[in-house]
Amino acid sequence: MLDEKRLAILTDAAKYDVSCSSSGSTRSYKRGQIGNASFAGICHSFTQDGRCISLLKILLSNDCVYDCAYCMNRRSNSLPRATAAPEEICELVMAFYRRNYIEGLFLSSAIVKGPNHTMEMLFETVRKLRVDYKFNGYIHVKGIPSADKLLITRTGALADRMSFNIELPSEKSLKLLAPQKSKEAIIEPMKMLALDRYYLSPAKRRSDFLPAGQTTQMIIGASPESDAHILKLTEYMYRNYKLKRVYYSSYMPTNFNTTLLPTVAAPKLREHRLYQADWLLRFYGFTADEITDTDGNLAEEYDPKCAWALKNLHLFPVEVNSAPLSLLLRVPGIGVRSAFRIRSARKYAKLGFDDLKRMRVTLKRAKHFITCGGKFFGSENENEVKRLLIAAETDRYTQLSFLSGGDPAAESALTGEL
Amino acid sequence: MKIFFIQNNVEGLLSALFYSFVAKVVPDEVTDVEIYQQKIDDEITYIKTDAAQAERVQTALTRYGGYDIIRRLKNCMLSCDENATSTAFRYAYKTLFFKKDISGNLADPTVAQFVFTEQKVLTERHHIIGFLRFRESAGGVIYARFSPDNDITELVAPHFLKRLSGLPFVIHDIKRNKIAISDGFALKFDHTDLPAAFTPSDDEEAFANLWRRYYKEINIEERKNLKQQDRFMPRRYRKFMPETYERF
Ligand code: SF4
């Protein structure tokens, strides 16, 4: 059995990884096996920092031969090291899964000895779980850059999701801060898995190869790239590598002794705004160009949808009884759920302002951008609208204690909903 | 007030609908005999559950209200909201009256109340599916206690039957003394007045402790946000979870 001490070390090393969700995979029950996966994802607990625990998020080892400047586990940092045997991880996963503590495993590792050795250990753990333990629950494996292609594909055939972390938003920063990694070593396996997934999945059936697809993660604020740059990169990866999700993780200075990195943490609000913008890209039909200025950052005072609407006031107000869904989705304050509610309810009768309230559509921000049966309830004055939007935003954040030391990204990483 | 007393299950509700349309009486409230506090000027009708009538109403409802309307009415009736039965009745009545699927018409108060009542039940189900905790007994059966707001044992148990295929388990609603028992292949629901006699397996405490340690370790102390934790994991569920309660 894995002892508490090693568990603590291997967990501690994994905890800043933000991609914890277990969603996007449907594994149905198989006779003689234990486990399934639900498409929507299930949170099994919430830690005191407000983040969801869905998976056992753990490193096989934190004993790294690389020396990435931003990482606690880098070779030149002195801290306790530990390694777990594949068998020990399997035992823990099964025990936790049976008790309904977790939805599955998120397995990652530092580079032990070299990329191939590490990838082999990861593969062996997953193989053992699937074959020997007949585990049919959710498994997410972090891919190791520069590892053998065949090993990566074989792991992909057993896992629900894999992720190669892009780490930093530009090649230049990567070279500077993670000298042993290269852009190609990260991008090539992503491309390969996207193709594998395409060719190895029988037509029209849900994918058996990485059913939950690929994700990636990058560190925000350790290097100088702008939000516009980051979002364009994100958009590019969604389109070209068919990623399911891009995660952002705010840079936090730990005990680093380097002049390469800033000494202050990246503001949480920035990460939060990026998640909101990401949500707009994925679900609301926005493009990166629409929500950012050519090379700027996202507005801090209000969310990116409000910012976009304020720049495009000539499109508003829209009439809720006739506006197409795609336009409803662009109204600040109206989320996916509300937009769908409006679309289905207006088939029965013309909707007024009170009807929207009854349907639990939040109108605090939306009222400045819509009409109900021709009637307008918002403010006509642009500056007044701006002031009210900022006030609404501040309200929301004090309510959620975002600005009082909380972690806005915890919520937005969970839903990202806007 | 006109009150219908029914047997609190979906056949009871369907029988009440049948009676209502045949006798042309629309009740102000529909309720379960056990919970209702009678008032002086109440005019009470006892509805007898009738399988044949219920089936006719079910056919009509499914035709007009969509294939899942019966399931949704059931979900709504599992709610702890004291008006849940009336809410379900009004929604079904309206569906039959207009002879169409009204589920999307959230601007209608009857529909909104129904949809939001059902949604609360399903939200709790979703919570519990994540938060329920099993302990392994010496005999190998795993056992979970909980105390949900809504009567959701029957909505929760099938999820675990699928997931833990082959593994026998017991889920125990200690508030209502309801249990779901699985032998690994099929479910049985029952009532029990007995507290479960439970002897943990040898490893049980060790794994619970590993989990507690994991829970502590994965937390990022500098980002403490108890408000958000409360919002996503209501405190009332925590006494059944090893990571938040030493003796759960
Ligand atoms: S390879 Fe991974 S674990 Fe090793 S130093 Fe770089 S980021 Fe850290």
| Residue B144 to residue B130: CA distance in whole angstroms | 12
pLDDT tens for chain B, 248 residues long, are 899 999 889 999 999 999 999 999 999 999 986 666 777 788 889 999 999 999 999 999 999 999 999 999 999 999 999 999 999 999 999 999 999 999 999 999 999 999 999 999 999 999 999 999 999 999 889 999 999 999 999 999 999 999 997 899 999 999 999 999 999 999 999 998 877 678 999 999 999 999 999 999 999 888 888 988 999 999 999 999 999 987 66
DSSP character for A130? I
Q: What is the pLDDT of residue B129?
A: 96
Mutational test site, ligand 1, from A59, A68, A219, max ligand atoms within 8 Å of CB: A68
Domain limits, chain B: 2-122, 132-247
CB contact under 8 A, A49 and B229: yes
The dihedral over CA atoms of A213, A42, A282, A268, expressed in degrees to the nearest 10, equals -110
What B114-120 contacts at long range (C-beta under 8 Å, 24+ apart), as own/partner pairs, is B114/B72, B114/B76, B114/B87, B114/B88, B114/B90, B116/A360, B117/B76, B117/B79, B117/B81, B117/B84, B117/B87, B117/B88, B118/B72, B118/B75, B118/B76, B118/B79, B120/B79, B120/B81, B120/B150
β-partners of residue A181 are none
- What mean pLDDT, rounded, does chain A reach? 87
Chain B segment 25-54 residues within 8 A of A by beta carbon are none
- What single-letter amino acid sits at B118? E
Alpha carbon separation from B96 to A335, B8, B30, B46, B69 (Å, rounded): 32, 20, 17, 22, 12
Q: Is the CB of residue B163 less than 8 Å away from at least one CB of chain A?
A: yes
Going by C-alpha positions, the residue among B64, B89, B71 that lies closest to residue B2 is B89
Q: Which of B107, B109, B142 sits opposite A345 (nearest CB)?
A: B107
Domain limits, chain A: 4-266, 304-410
Alpha carbon separation from A78 to A105, A264, B222 (Å, rounded): 28, 22, 21
Q: What is the pLDDT of residue B221?
A: 87
- What single-letter amino acid sits at A131? V
In chain A, what residues touch B217 (CB-CB under 8 Å)? 7-8, 11-12, 15
Two tokens, residue A188: 């090539």
Looking at the CA of residue A67, tell me the nearest atom of ligand 1: 5
CATH of A4-266, one of 3.40.50.970, 3.30.300.340, 3.90.1010.10, 3.20.20.70: 3.20.20.70
Burial readout A254-267 (b: 16 or more C-beta within 10 A, e: otherwise): eebeeeebeeeebe
Two tokens, residue B196: 């479960």
Looking at the CA of residue A59, tell me the nearest atom of ligand 1: 3
| Residue A195 to residue A192: CA distance in whole angstroms | 5
β-partners of residue B32 are B6
CA triplet A197, A202, A206: central angle to 5 degrees?
A: 75
Q: Whose CA is nearest to atom 2 of ligand 1?
A: A110
**Phi and psi (nearest 5°) for A182?**
-130, 160
Alpha carbon separation from A273 to A139, A169, A269, A298, B166 (Å, rounded): 29, 16, 6, 7, 46
Alpha carbon separation from A24 to A42, A138, A245 (Å, rounded): 11, 10, 10
Contacts of B203 (CB under 8 A, 6+ apart): A1, A95, B136
Q: Whose CA is nearest to atom 5 of ligand 1?
A: A74
Q: How far is the CA of A65 from the centre of ligand 1 (A)?
A: 8
In chain A, what residues touch B210 (CB-CB under 8 Å)? 1-2, 4, 7, 92, 95
ipTM: 0.93
Task: Say how many residues make up chain B.
Answer: 248
Query: Are the beta carbons of A56 and A104 closer than 8 angstroms?
Result: yes
Going by C-alpha positions, the residue among B222, B223, B220, B243 that lies closest to residue B233 is B243
| Residue B185 to residue B50: CA distance in whole angstroms | 32
In chain A, what residues touch B166 (CB-CB under 8 Å)? 32, 34
DSSP character for A207? P
**Phi and psi (nearest 5°) for A380?**
-85, -20
pLDDT tens for chain A, 418 residues long, are 899 999 999 998 888 776 556 666 777 767 677 888 887 789 999 999 888 999 999 999 999 999 988 888 889 988 999 999 999 999 999 999 999 999 999 999 999 999 999 999 999 999 999 999 999 999 999 999 999 999 999 999 999 999 999 999 999 999 999 999 999 999 999 999 999 888 877 665 556 789 889 999 999 999 999 999 999 999 999 999 999 999 998 888 875 667 788 888 888 889 989 999 999 999 888 999 999 876 688 988 888 999 999 999 999 999 999 999 999 999 999 999 999 999 999 999 999 999 999 999 989 999 999 999 999 998 888 888 888 888 888 777 665 544 333 344 444 444 456 6
Burial readout A193-222 (b: 16 or more C-beta within 10 A, e: otherwise): bbebbeeeeeeeeebebbbbbbbbbbbbbb
Q: How far is the CA of A192 from the centre of ligand 1 (A)?
A: 22
pTM, rounded to two decimals = 0.90
Residue B157: its H or E element: helix B153-163
Alpha carbon separation from B180 to B155, B165, B239 (Å, rounded): 10, 15, 20
The residues lining ligand 1, judged by C-beta closer than 6 Å to any ligand atom, are A 64, 66, 68, 71, 73-74, 110-111, 178
* Rama region for A221: left / alpha / beta (φ>0; ψ in -120 to 50; rest): left
